[in-house]
């Protein structure tokens, strides 16, 4: 979620959360200087981010969810750099819900929008430096010397006359000291941890199997739940007969809850088998007749109506009317599922006066509110524990599955692990929106670009989830990669029209970048072809006001060998974008095999400003190529009779290992502030591939996905 233009304020976010959950009360506030009891002894927290035990063990609390993107390494690097400790000996722990952990770029304690490092960049370094200064102050007090005579380094504080003490020895005293107000930070040339590709802290546990994902959690006395939900969007239970299911082995209870019917049993398999034996009659509701013809017809009809102006420069309408040539282009994008490898699941233990929710989630702060709403508890009575996430991609910003688990646990009076099947997950997702887009480009007699008009029509995700950030019909998360159109053109008009397709929309990795970059960069290729210009050189000619764009585009051309043949039956395509504060250029090399696109090579040049861990940046680029390419050429979500038609990876395929292109990533060294890297590259793959296919075949791709050529 890009917040660079219309960033919702924290107050606005809290108001939004109140609208979603009936009021927001924070479950916990963790101040500095507290003692924490653990099974392995007591430890002390100079602040909310650092915990130091007497044995010199340093634990760093991470307030963002680890879903493969590397925050359990990158964020501790920021703290450890200024704390000055041996990074290999650090422990990590997921932070609980607390105001101190709010993501200032998003206004809540949530993980998304490629904001984790950007939000943490300064405050976590300050946290580390503050803790070190407090330890130095504690040593100075102990030795009766001035604080500036004490120096913290590598987990030890040294002082005059050879005095030294470990951080662990000083931790209790340090936790009682005043937090320093003036906290100087190291200069980049002094960094020993930040900017380095240190090994990821989460990898050993993931390799040896000790990493706990939500689906791994067990509690004493825990039962398992499998759920039956309406096959029709927004349908409800009309009636059900559970006689057969009740008689099956291991079944403990049958529970009707707000979304459907749950079977609670001794094991998940027993619960699932009994669930399949339920005889349920569904009230299919108003969407029983929803199908793709109606969805596309509605979008196209709505697109003929005027949208709300989001960006206006000059007079695009007048320029179009007086132009020597006008390109009038339409593009459409399809529904996509998040489909993380770990399907939705949650463990809930709801009691008379408390509740514990253990779940892979991206929004710790919201869970106490919504769980309180269905249990009758107060939010501060709801404890939230975040596990590793087997993928998130925006789906786990929504916490509906934790509510389901809480309802079921309350009904049976014991801890319950609710697990969705793959079919449950794929057919009850919140989907990347389908959109209709129209671009009009006006050219003069010499082929100069005079005007650019971009009209977007589609669902507003924010209107559903966070309505307070949508003002006067403008959703800032629907115009990404369009509102920052970089090319030098005197007349620009960007409009947006909200249209509800009837399919639940959700924040999907890169949000509207993956929609609008496809449109903007495909259209730019069409414009270049219309004036007989090389697409890359034409872009370069219109980016004179943006040296960061020009630099990465030139580097991409050089690394790819632009203009040189990649071999018979192959062609290259280019796309550029800025998203989440990161500038990107991408060139894809493709062929066509058996009527389907095949991507052989993807060259990425990334200017994401200062980097915490270059190896993680590279990994995220490759991950984004895989995720974006899967969406671009593999499959789509479709609807018939109100039912999602794809329910597993046979009908909604993922990119296979042998289909992954060679991925070349070039990182620009920069002194600019950090940009996000977890999402933006996802937006580049559709247009770079589509543009390459046009070069190869002469066929212009105007609708995603590209299933055949």
Residue (of 363, 377, 499, 412) closest to 65 by Cα position: 363
DSSP 656: P
Distance of CA 400 to the CA centre of its chain: 17
Neighbours of 108 (CB within 10 A): 23
Question: Can you give 639-653 as a three-state secondary structure string?
Answer: EECCEECCCCCCCCC
Type and span of the H or E element at 560: helix 547-560
Please, how many CA atoms are within 13 Å of residue 211, restricted to the half-sphere of its CB? 20
Query: 47 falls in which pLDDT band (50, 70, 90)?
Result: confident
Q: What's this model's pTM, rounded to 2 decimal places?
A: 0.92
* Angle at 609 (CA atoms; ends 556, 541), nearest 5 degrees: 40
Q: Answer whether residue 12 shows pLDDT above 50.
A: no
In percent, the amount of the chain with pLDDT more than 90 equals 92
Query: What pairs with residue 599 in β-bridges?
Result: 590
Rg (CA), the chain: 27
Would you call the peptide bond into 705 cis, given omega within 30 degrees of 0 as the criterion?
yes
Give the span between the Cα atoms of 305 and 495, in whole angstroms. Answer: 11
Distance of CA 229 to the CA centre of its chain: 26
Residue (of 642, 665, 460) closest to 560 by Cα position: 665
Structure tokens at 545: 């006001």
List, for residues 202-219, the tens digit of each pLDDT value.
999 999 999 999 999 999
Q: Answer whether residue 16 shows pLDDT above 80.
A: no
Query: Cα dihedral sign for 128, 130, 131, 135?
Result: positive
Question: Can you give 481-510 as a three-state secondary structure string?
Answer: CCCCCCCCCCEEEEEEEECCCCCCECCCCC
Question: Tell me, what's the pLDDT at 45?
Answer: 74
Residue (of 364, 312, 310) closest to 477 by Cα position: 310
Helix (H, G, I), strand (E, B) or coil at 398: coil
Query: What pairs with residue 666 in β-bridges?
Result: 605
Residue (of 474, 519, 534) closest to 498 by Cα position: 474
Question: Tell me, what's the pLDDT at 564?
Answer: 86
Domains of the chain, earliest start first:
10-207 (3.30.365.10), 214-284+344-419 (3.30.365.10), 292-336+431-697 (3.30.365.10)
Question: Tell me, what's the pLDDT at 1?
Answer: 33
Query: What pairs with residue 320 in β-bridges?
Result: none
DSSP 669: P
Cβ contact 633:619 at 8 Å? no
Give the span between the Cα atoms of 468 and 429, in whole angstroms. Answer: 23
Quick one: average pLDDT of 419-444?
A: 98
Question: Tell me, what's the pLDDT at 42?
Answer: 66
Cβ contact 168:83 at 8 Å? no
Q: Name 33's Cβ contacts closer than 8 Å, sequence gap at least 6.
A: 44, 45, 46, 47, 175, 176, 177
Cβ contact 505:674 at 8 Å? no
Residue (of 582, 522, 572) closest to 552 by Cα position: 582
Give the span between the Cα atoms of 533 and 563, in whole angstroms. Answer: 13
- Helices 685-697 & 614-633 angle (0-180, nearest 10): 50
Q: Are strands 382-386 and 416-419 parallel, antiparallel or unpaired?
A: unpaired
Residue with token string 């770029």: 105
**Least confident stretch, 23-32, 60-69, 278-287, 540-549:** 23-32
Quick one: average pLDDT of 303-322?
A: 98
Give the span between the Cα atoms of 2 and 512, in whole angstroms. Answer: 9
Strands (E), 95-203: 151-153, 156-158, 164-166
Helix (H, G, I), strand (E, B) or coil at 705: coil
Query: 565 falls in which pLDDT band (50, 70, 90)?
Result: confident
For all residues of the chain together, what is the average pLDDT?
A: 93
Burial class (CB in 10 A: 0-12, 13-18, 19+), 153: exposed
Cβ contact 441:326 at 8 Å? yes
List, for residues 519-531, the tens digit of each pLDDT value.
999 999 999 999 9
Give the span between the Cα atoms of 347 and 344, in whole angstroms. Answer: 11
Report phi then psi at 279, rounded to 5.
-105, 100
Query: 550 falls in which pLDDT band (50, 70, 90)?
Result: very high
């Amino acid at each position: 979620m890009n917040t660079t233009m219309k960033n919702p304020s924290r107050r606005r976010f809290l108001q939004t959360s109140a609208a979603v959950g009936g009021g927001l009360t924070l479950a916990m506030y963790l101040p500095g200087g507290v003692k924490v009891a653990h099974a392995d002894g007591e430890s002390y927290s100079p602040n909310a981010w650092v915990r130091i035990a007497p044995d010199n063990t340093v634990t760093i609390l991470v307030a963002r969810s680890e879903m493969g993107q590397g925050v359990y390494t990158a964020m501790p690097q920021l703290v450890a750099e200024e704390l000055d400790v041996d990074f290999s000996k650090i422990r990590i722990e997921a932070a609980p819900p607390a105001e101190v952990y709010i993501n200032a770029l998003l206004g809540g304690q949530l993980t998304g929008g490629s904001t984790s490092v950007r939000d943490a960049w300064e405050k976590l370094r300050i946290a580390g430096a503050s803790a070190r200064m407090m330890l130095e102050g504690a040593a100075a007090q102990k030795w009766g010397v001035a604080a500036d005579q004490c120096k913290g380094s590598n987990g030890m504080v040294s002082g005059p006359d050879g005095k030294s003490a470990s951080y662990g020895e000083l931790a209790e005293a340090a936790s009682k000291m005043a937090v320093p107000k003036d906290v100087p930070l190291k200069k980049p040339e002094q960094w020993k941890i930040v900017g380095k590709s240190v090994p990821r802290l989460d990898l050993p546990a993931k390799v040896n199997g000790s990493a706990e994902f939500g689906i791994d959690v067990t509690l004493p006395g825990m039962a398992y739940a499998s759920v039956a939900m309406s096959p029709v969007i927004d349908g409800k239970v009309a009636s059900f007969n559970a006689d057969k299911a009740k008689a099956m082995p291991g079944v403990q209870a049958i529970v009707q809850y707000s979304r459907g019917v749950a079977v609670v049993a001794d094991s998940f398999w027993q619960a699932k088998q009994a669930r399949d034996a339920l005889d349920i009659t569904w009230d299919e509701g108003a969407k029983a007749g929803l199908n793709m013809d109606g969805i596309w017809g509605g979008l196209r009809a709505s697109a003929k109506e005027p949208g709300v102006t989001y960006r206006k420069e000059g007079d695009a309408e007048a320029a179009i009317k007086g132009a020597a040539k006008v390109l009038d282009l339409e593009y459409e994008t399809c529904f996509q599922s998040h489909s993380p490898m770990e399907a939705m699941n949650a463990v809930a233990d709801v009691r008379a006066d408390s509740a514990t929710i253990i779940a892979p989630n991206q929004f710790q702060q919201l869970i106490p509110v919504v769980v309180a709403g269905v249990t009758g508890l107060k939010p501060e009575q709801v404890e939230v524990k975040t596990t590793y996430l087997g993928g998130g991609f925006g789906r786990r910003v929504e916490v509906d599955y934790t509510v389901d688990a809480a309802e079921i646990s309350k009904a049976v009076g014991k801890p319950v692990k609710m697990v969705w099947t793959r079919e449950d997950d794929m057919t009850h997702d919140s989907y990347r929106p389908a959109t209709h887009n129209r671009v009009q480009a006006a050219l003069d007699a010499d082929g100069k670009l005079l005007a650019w008009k971009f009209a977007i029509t589609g669902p507003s995700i924010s209107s559903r989830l966070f309505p307070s950030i949508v003002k006067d019909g403008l959703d800032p998360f629907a115009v990404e990669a369009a509102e920052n159109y970089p090319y030098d053109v005197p007349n620009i008009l960007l409009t947006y029209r909200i249209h509800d397709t009837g399919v639940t929309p959700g924040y999907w990795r890169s949000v509207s970048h993956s929609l609008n970059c496809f449109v903007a960069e495909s259209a730019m290729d069409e414009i270049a072809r219309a004036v007989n210009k090389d697409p890359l050189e034409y872009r370069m000619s219109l980016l004179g006001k943006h040296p960061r764009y020009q630099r990465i585009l030139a580097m991409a051309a050089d690394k790819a060998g632009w203009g040189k043949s990649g071999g018979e039956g192959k062609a290259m395509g280019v796309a550029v974008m800025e998203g989440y504060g990161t500038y990107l250029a991408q060139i894809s090399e493709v062929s066509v095999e058996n009527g389907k696109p095949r991507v052989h090579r993807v060259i990425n040049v990334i200017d994401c400003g200062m980097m915490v861990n270059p190896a993680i940046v590279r990994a995220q680029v490759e991950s984004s190529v895989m995720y974006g390419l899967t969406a671009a050429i593999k499959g789509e979500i479709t609807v018939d009779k109100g039912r999602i038609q794809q329910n597993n990876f046979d009908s909604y395929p993922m990119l296979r290992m042998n289909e992954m292109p060679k991925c070349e990533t070039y990182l620009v060294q920069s002194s600019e502030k950090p940009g996000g890297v977890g999402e933006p590259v996802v937006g580049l793959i559709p247009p770079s591939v589509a543009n390459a296919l046009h070069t190869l075949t002469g066929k212009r791709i105007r609708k995603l996905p590209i299933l055949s050529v």
